[in-house]
Chains A and B, each alone.
Chain A
Amino acid sequence: MHCRNDDTQGEPSPDKGRSSRRHFLSQLAALSASLTIAARAASSKERSRPETPDPEQPESLVDIVLKVNGQEKPLKVDSRVTVLDAVRDRLNMSGTKKGCDHGACGACTVLIDGKRVLSCLTLAVMAQGKEITTIEGLAHGDELHPVQAAFVSCDGFQCGYCTPGQIMSAVGCIYEGHTRSDSEIREFMSGNICRCGAYPNIVQAIKQAAPQMKRAVS
């Protein structure tokens, strides 16, 4: 029987003449980065403040410590770095997703000090001394968090890209107590967009997980 988590089965090997999706994406990223660097070089003379840190202004690089999923992580970051980019690119936790990067879609939702917030609009320098919880911090080893388990059993996703944000937001929604009816769940989950339209199953998953979470807390 095929296991969904076993990604070596049923997929072509990247070195059998077919380029893998990940390889293609990394090539695309490298190309895009080199184009961006060229564009910056061209425009840097026109701008009084460049888009890269000025070596004569070392204060734009800041030593910080982020507490992510209970672990303290020291980082040297540009003051522009968001919590989203810090956890994905610097701490290699890619569970938190970048959707719109402007606070419109909810894909980047994490908990900070137990409250659901948008990591794309939170500067890392402003998250010091706070408890950041990402999707990677929900499960206990192999035991899924009740909301994760409910999303699996209720089929609360299709492509899965919005799912980490949906799950983190659902955890916050249940903490807040806004699960008294389907319409209340929909209203208080409206900050998380699902372009596949898995909303009915997401509502079901939250209804299933809410009493389990409350039991776990009490």
Chain B
Amino acid sequence: MRAFQFKAATSPKDATGTGTDTVFIAGGTNVIDLMKLDVVKPARLVDLGPLSFRGIALDSTGLRIGALEKMADVAEDPRVAKEYPVISQALLKSASAQIRNMASMGGNLMQRTRCGYFRDTVSPCNKRVPGSGCPALEGENRMHAIFGVSDSCCATHPSDLAVALVALDSVLKLQGPQGIREVKLEDFYLLPENTPDREHDISPGEIITEIFVPGKEWARRSGYLKIRDRESYEFALTSAAVALDLDGSTIRDARIAVGGVGTKPWSLPVVAEALKGKAANREVFAAAAEQATEGARTLSQNGFKVPLLKRTLVRVLCEVGGVA
């Protein structure tokens, strides 16, 4: 690891006043790993830990989570588990107990891809070294994306939490040198297109301070299913976050996002729309899931994700919809 200056932020200004060669650290589970790999090379590391962006608050408008809350604390909060089960489930299926005790909610949303070429500094990678090329497009791409793929990048976004939060129409509060602003989480993540090094709608010196999840009817009847190569402590091959607002057995409204398949957390409004006004049953779910992979671009090794994603959706829709 290269040398860096370390500073513990004592006020938000300590963080927001810093320049482009500064990296923020909260839990450190991703940043320290990437610094050891020489993928991330900050001149300055600013610890956000002492700042006060904490708290888990629920009211009739929704759920507010301080960006520095630990994944484990949010996952185990009984109010979150009851009112927003998809968030709790996605967190508990993320990483390991140790990492969930360390990693912050904001940091989870900022984590970088697990693409092997991105993490290996000997390989070209357009995300790490713009213009150097993308070996994954023709190389080892079994874990890679089928949605949002460009000729520059096909790296999968790794966060489970982000999939759940995108499904629930969440909004981030950001604080920076220009003040405070809000951005929809779905729009916060950028498509790779021909600038895969630009991953987020965030400026130098800006930090995530809060996550807001609106308290809609569908949030309470929600769930997360993650399919992996091993049962635990593994990134998704496919995953799905679904939320259903049922009127008896009729689907009034739905929200759906999927993971392990997109260059960003991928919402599927087409599938949600196909469910509206229909009866909650396996046939309806299967017909809607058929539309999930329209426009998918598969690579040499990840074609299996197309049928797997459809099955993932049907299974979690059945579970959440109470269909045997």
Residues of chain A at the chain B interface (Cβ within 8 Å): 47, 49-54, 57, 59-60, 62, 78-80, 82, 101-103, 106, 109, 115-118, 120-123, 125-126, 169, 172-173, 176, 178, 186-192
Contact = CB atoms under 8 A, between A and B. Distances in A.
Given A126-B47, A187-B232, A190-B232, A49 B3 contact: yes
Interface of B: 1-6, 8, 25, 28-29, 32-33, 36-37, 41, 43, 45, 47, 49, 72, 76, 95-99, 101-102, 231-233
Given A117-B102, A191-B99, 6 more contacts: A49-B2, A49-B3, A79-B5, A121-B33, A121-B102, A122-B102
Contacts, number: 104
Nearest to B76: A176
Given A126-B28, A190-B233, A117 B98 contact: yes
B99 A103 contact: yes
Contacts of A62: 6
A176 B97 contact: yes
Contacts of A109: 98
B95 A80 contact: no
Contact of A78 (B3, B76, B98): B3
A43 to B, nearest CB: 12
Contact of B1 (A80, A103, A187): A80
Given A49-B2, A121-B28, A191 B98 contact: yes
Contacts of A82: 32
Contacts of A172: 97-98, 101
Nearest to B233: A190
A116 B102 CA distance: 9
A45 to B, nearest CB: 15
A56 to B, nearest CB: 11
Contacts of A176: 76, 97
Contacts of A118: 29, 98-99, 102
Nearest first, the 9 closest Cβ-Cβ pairs linking A and B are A191-B96, A190-B232, A79-B6, A190-B233, A115-B101, A121-B32, A191-B98, A80-B1, A60-B3
Given A121-B33, A187-B232, A190-B232, A60 B4 contact: yes
Q: Max chain B CB contacts within 10 Å: which of A116, A120, A189, A192? A: A116
B15 to A, nearest CB: 15
A129 B180 CA distance: 31
Contact of B6 (A122, A125, A192): A125
A195 B96 CA distance: 17
7 contacts: A82-B32, A102-B37, A116-B97, A117-B101, A121-B29, A121-B32, A191-B96
A161 B32 CA distance: 23
B186 to A, nearest CB: 28
Contacts of A103: 29, 32-33, 98-99
A190 B4 CA distance: 33
A116 B98 contact: yes
Nearest to B234: A190
A52 B102 contact: no
A59 B98 contact: no
Contacts of A78: 3
A80 B96 contact: no
A205 B47 CA distance: 38
A82 B6 CA distance: 13
Contacts of A54: 3
Given A116-B101, A121-B32, A106 B5 contact: no
B98 A102 contact: no
A54 B3 CA distance: 8
A178 B29 CA distance: 22
A168 to B, nearest CB: 9
A109 B99 CA distance: 10
A49 B41 contact: yes
Q: Max chain B CB contacts within 10 Å: which of A79, A82, A101, A189? A: A79
A52 B32 contact: no
A96 to B, nearest CB: 13
Q: Max chain A CB contacts within 10 Å: which of B8, B45, B102? A: B102
Q: Max chain B CB contacts within 10 Å: which of A60, A62, A109, A121? A: A121
Contacts of A187: 231-232
Given A126-B47, A187-B232, A191-B233, A52 B3 contact: yes
B33 to A, nearest CB: 5
A53 B6 CA distance: 13
Contact of A186 (B3, B33, B102, B232): B232
A201 B47 CA distance: 40
B282 to A, nearest CB: 27
B139 to A, nearest CB: 22
A193 B98 CA distance: 13
A191 B3 contact: no
Nearest to B31: A121
Contacts of B28: 121-123, 126
A132 B2 CA distance: 26
